[in-house]
Structures are given as structure tokens and as C-alpha cells.
Structure 1
């Protein structure tokens, strides 16, 4: 398998979550560059099925997993399991229990599944263009549910949304706010019950490659499915197309490229788990499952799990969700450069980076002294090896955050301190 060579990231076409009837419309054309630091006129390789002898690694939206389909809403009688685990309540948080593992290297996943199940929901969307299904997590006791934008964006017009809890109760829901550029959205249950169990939020900043994880959601309509795996990689820049592409063929107002500084996991991921939970062995939410890698049609039309799935880190998801609940929209950090992929000499070696093609006046980049031709190779010590990777790093931050860019200018390394601003609204 080979990755798309242009930007060393997985190109992930929009609208791949489980659709029950009408198939997704073809993707819209690329949109103008992002202010965070994107390539001018980014290109996407849509040549699925046109490779010979080598499988082109593409990806689709609709993370999830179907390894062991279990109905988590039903209470289970634990058999003899080793090691033992206990669940402790979080009275101050009014959220799902935290699981204390007897042996962290060999987690009791039954305990984790039981703790998380009440906080994960199935989402069904119906519009004039078709119907589809996805997943979500209960964010608070007021009935707010966090999910992916591509799961519910078709219902922002005349569509309808229903949410089914783990115990089978179903409620109508409405969209509170969407953020297409991060592929996140918040919906709210109508007449929400008082016994909702919000999911406990974890710390995505503390994750390590190799940590055990569980994905929970609604793949292929199989509600309450859990799968396990490990964190395969962190800070993986993943592009899922443009945010004006809808699974129902509708055009959205924003045309930003959807870029995530993603958690990569080996937990089985399949269509329908978009918006579902990725949790650690304590049962804490560490990411929102959002996309999967898949083999293109030319490689045998394999569109399900191949062991490469991606989730939006909870740090970013929490920030966006709180903003959407508060005002119905979200602000984003802004650097103010246009960049392109390049390879630069770094001492006696060469390395990939994001070369500054232009700097907009009056922006954080201009105020920090960035210049055309500078090559950005790291953000706060995290490697940047493409223009998309730079966008992913900046998008994970908030306006007002201070960050250090490591650049190569005229063959020499130097650090540049930048205070990020609020990204201006995209022109209509």
C-alpha cells in the first residue's frame, strides 16, 4: 500500500458513513486555501480504482468497528475474568463511571464496556435525499450529544434526527450547532430524560503510542458494538476532503478543508461509528471516531476495516462542543500563512516541511516575523512534514494560544514565538 505522495497524508473522501439508501453525491471541487497554513489550491487524488499492481490507500468518513457485536444496554453477569476491575462513580461530574483496572497491561474490557455503554447513542438521520446512521456521545445531562458534522449535516434543513439510547429509548433531536472544518457537531434531545449519563472526558494529551483503547458505537446499524485495539500513532494529519461536501449532496457554506490532527487506532473501524467514542482502559473519552482508511476499488473494493482508523482528540472535540453549545458556532486559531509541501536541507540531512508561500499582513505570522520561503518543520516540538500537517497542528489549538514554530531559514534553524488569533470568517 502507498499513501498519496503529494502531502504524505491519507486523502479521505467525505460522506462514507453508513447510508441506508441514497448513495453520497460526488465530492465538490477543492476550495481556496486555509488561513491556518494550507497549500494554495490543495489537490486531492480521486483516482480510486486506477492504480495498477499497487493498492492506493484512500479513506472514508464513518469510523466505527464490528469486531464483537454486543448489546451493551443489557446488564451482564461477569464471569471469572483476570484481572479484576472495579468501577468508581463520579458524583461531582455526574458522568459515566471510571474503571480502575487490576492490571493496566491486561484490561478488563467487559468492565469498560459496561461503564461506557449508557453514554454512547445511535443516531438516525432522514432527509429528502436519503437516510443514514451514525453514533454520538452524551456530552451533558441537558441532552447535548456530540457527534460528527458529516453524520447530521443533511438534517440542518428539513431533515429529521432520532437518537436511540443504549436501553432502547428513542428521542427526536435537533441540531444545536455544526463546525464543518473540524467535522464536529452538537445535537440536543427533545424532552431529554433526567437519567442521562454523560461520558467522562479523558486527557488526549497524555496518550502514548501503544496504549490500549476501545471503540464504541453503531457500525452498520449494529448498536452497542465494541472493538479493542491500541493507539497506533498520534498527531496523524488526516484530510477528509472539503467541508462543503455532504453525504446528501448538499452544498454547505464553508469550503474549508477538513483536517484533523488525529489519533490513529487499530481498533476495528467500520461505517456507522462516526461520532462514536474512543475510550481508554478507564472508560474515559479520548477521541471521537471520525474516519477510516480503506483500500480503493482497484484493490478489491475493500471499504471496511483494515486496521487503520482515526479519531478527533477529545481536547479539540471538547473545546468545539462547548463553543457550539454556548453560541451555535466555533472560533478557530489562525496563523495567517499559505504554505506548500517541500523538502529542505537540515544540517547534513534533508527533511520534509511546510514552506511559507505567502504571509498575510497584520496576521500572527506577520507579527512574528515569518517570511516567504521559511520552512516550518515543527510546532511546539511536534514534527511538521507537510502543509496539511501544519494545518492540523494549528487547528487543534485555540485563538490566543502561544506556540513556538521551528523553522529553517537560509539553511539555519530558529524558533519563532507566535500568538494565534481568531480566524476571520470565510468570504461568502
Structure 2
């Protein structure tokens, strides 16, 4: 078992066991409703049908974005002007098969046309729980009525109903859930014959500054779209669940956007200028008001599409998902050399017969980068590792004894 340690940023410190093989810190939480003001606080929680407790992130609250949500998407070729043609492609696809993200400027994107064409891939999710009801968003994956959404949207569900863009509602069943990545797959019990699946872009091709659109039902306002840009990549987002050992804590290396995302956008898509899904909206940062609730302040977060499709494929197979495993316990750390300071995930311990031990990762090593993705701390390392494929090989940049060196690590399977 790995455990998290105290973060270096000026936010409430939270330590969380991490059986995935890397440690992480709090400071980000999936978006929801009641958010306490920044200050000493317990670990963020996803308890309840749609709203979760939070901690601060640089004096901001991070919230689970369920409650009333809606979203979905289909991909389109960017041809010329407003001439967009649907891509015939069922989702999810592997990252190797996915198309590159569209990087055209906001002036080139015909958002009205994209919103019109994407709409049929959007479903609203209505969830009945033992304590009431909540709503969420879903993205249609295939013509059989398979739907991708957030785990926290359907957590505790006793009944699920989905509503398509034409206003017709259908009962649905949960195929599988994964609290570790906050993803879930549903399937309509009796799907209509005219469903329009979404298509997904390769999230590794997403760039900071590219235009994007978020779809959903923020604050209960169905069929709402907002536009903005990708404002950052690889943001560590964490939220603890209900397990006391932290085994269901969510860690994401998220896409950050300034497209307005509010409570109600959970499970909805973030799409590029061609209408392709590049992420599943899942979290917002907010400054809580007097009631403890918060809205968009231009900092929203989405699970990258490659991670979402990887987990969705597994959930469709047998209802469960496995995750990549490194095999270290880490904490936020730093190392100085030549007048400069590196910040990263400091290895506290290494599990025997783990991928980390096989490449001689050692106690005291500072992991600062994975495949050119900066690792600023323990949470960032966990988010990056959990978004990678099992048995895939990656380049880890490590500071050891004041010198930077590279290690190639083939990730294993996280022990159950």
C-alpha cells in the first residue's frame, strides 16, 4: 500500500493511502455543491447523490460537478467554413485509432453548427437514490445505448433514467463503475434505433490555447453550451470517496479549461473545434459563497479522452477496471542544484517486485517528469500513472544525489 504525504502548497494537508502504487495529495476535488471555505478541512468527499465536500486549491474550492448535468457529443470533420460532415465512428476507440484534436482558432470554429450536430449524442441522466434524486450527464458511446458518465453521478443509484436530445426518456442500468477515475458506464434497457454515438480525439494531441466547447445542463439548464480555450494540461485533481483506507480516491491528470463549467456539467463532454470529445467534464474550482456553494470562475477540469475511453472499454467488458501500477509511496518534495530547485514526487518507499523496484527507483529519488509531462508533486504523479495503459513503457526523469537521470519503466497492474 502506498500513502500520500503533506503537500507543499499552502492548502489544507491531507494524507491518503494509495494502493495504486503512487501517493498523492489533496488540494483538488471533483465539482459539486457544498464547499467549505478554505482552511483546515478533512479530506474532500464524494458522499451523497451529487454533491461533495471539498478542500481549497490556492484559496479556491474544488467541487464535484454533479447535481443536474447533461452532455454528450459526436465528432465532425473540419472541412471549410461551416461545412461539417459527421465522422462515422463508434466510441470509445483506442488512443492509437483516435483522430488528432482540432487546433483551429475560435474565429474559424462554427460553434452554432457544432452545437447543432453534437446535440444528438447528449443524454440527461436522472438518478434515484435512497435519499432523493440527482441528475447528471452522459455521452453516447454506441448505437446499443451504451453511455459514459462520471461515477459520482450514479453513485448510490437505485434507479437510472436517461433522456435523449429529443426529450424521450428510457430506463438504464449500470454496466460498471470505477471510483478511482470517477468514470461509469450505463446502458439503456431498450435503446431507440436512431442513437448517434460520439467520437473521441486523441487527448495527447490537445494543446494549451486551442478552442473548446463544454456541453451539459449547468444548474439544471438543459442543452447548454459554453465555449473557451484549453487553459492548461496535466492538472492534478483529487477527491476522496467513502472508503476509510482511501482506496476509492480519485486522481486525475486533467485538462483545464476556462469554458464555463458549473454544478450540473458532470459527465458532459469537452469538445474541440471539430466536435470531437477531448475530455469528460468532472470538476470545477470555485470560491464558495455564504451558502457554501460555488459556480464557475473560469477554472474547470476534464478527464482526458484517452483515459476515459481506456476505462470505458474495460467497464464494458466485465464491469470493472484495472489501473496502471508503479509501486512507490511518495510525497511532495524538492531538490536544489546549481541555484535552481526541482519540485516533484519524492519516493518514500518502494514495493518489492514492483515496476519501480525493477528499474532501481530508490527512497529519496525525486520524480520530476514522466514522458515530458512535469510532475510537481505526489498527486500529479498518481494522476499521470493512473491515466496510462497497463504494461506500457514510459520515461521517468528522476533527480538523485543532485543529478538528473532517466529511467524507463514498464508499468504493471495495480493490486486489487
Per the TM alignment, residue 353 of structure 1 is displaced from its structure 2 partner at its CA by 1.0
Per the TM alignment, residue 343 of structure 1 is displaced from its structure 2 partner at its CA by 1.5
- Give the equivalent residue in structure 2 for 1:17: none
Residues 241 and 250, structure 2, Cα contact 8 Å, conserved in 1: yes
Secondary structure of 1:315's counterpart equals: helix
Secondary structure of 2:405's counterpart equals: strand
- Give the equivalent residue in structure 1 for 2:136: 134
Distance 2:11 2:231 in 1: 15
**Mapping of residues 19-418 of structure 1, within 5 Å:** 31-39=16-24, 42=25, 48-49=36-37, 56-62=59-65, 84-91=81-88, 93=90, 105-155=107-157, 159-240=158-239, 242-244=240-242, 255-297=247-289, 301=292, 303-418=294-409
| TM score, norm. by length of structure 2 | 0.83
Distance 2:406 2:265 in 1: 40
Distance 2:283 2:215 in 1: 14
* Higher Rg: 1
Residues 101 and 108, structure 1, Cα contact 8 Å, conserved in 2: no
Per the TM alignment, residue 398 of structure 1 is displaced from its structure 2 partner at its CA by 1.1
Secondary structure of 1:394's counterpart equals: helix
Residues 243 and 254, structure 1, Cα contact 8 Å, conserved in 2: yes
Secondary structure of 1:110's counterpart equals: helix
Per the TM alignment, residue 84 of structure 1 is displaced from its structure 2 partner at its CA by 3.4
CA RMSD, Structure 1 to Structure 2 (Å): 3.3
Residues 87 and 100, structure 1, Cα contact 8 Å, conserved in 2: no
Secondary structure of 2:415's counterpart equals: coil
Runs of 4+ in structure 1 deviating by more than 4 angstroms, as ranges, are 7-11, 42-47, 63-66, 92-95, 98-104, 251-254
Change (3 A) 1:7 1:33: farther
Secondary structure of 2:295's counterpart equals: coil
Residues 9 and 388, structure 1, Cα contact 8 Å, conserved in 2: no
Residues 35 and 338, structure 1, Cα contact 8 Å, conserved in 2: no
| TM score, norm. by length of structure 1 | 0.80
Question: Structure 1: where are the runs of 5+ without partners?
Answer: 12-28, 74-82, 245-250
- Give the equivalent residue in structure 2 for 1:80: none
Residues 334 and 341, structure 2, Cα contact 8 Å, conserved in 1: yes
Per the TM alignment, residue 302 of structure 1 is displaced from its structure 2 partner at its CA by 5.4
Aligned length: 377
Residues 230 and 257, structure 2, Cα contact 8 Å, conserved in 1: yes
Distance 1:216 1:368 in 2: 43
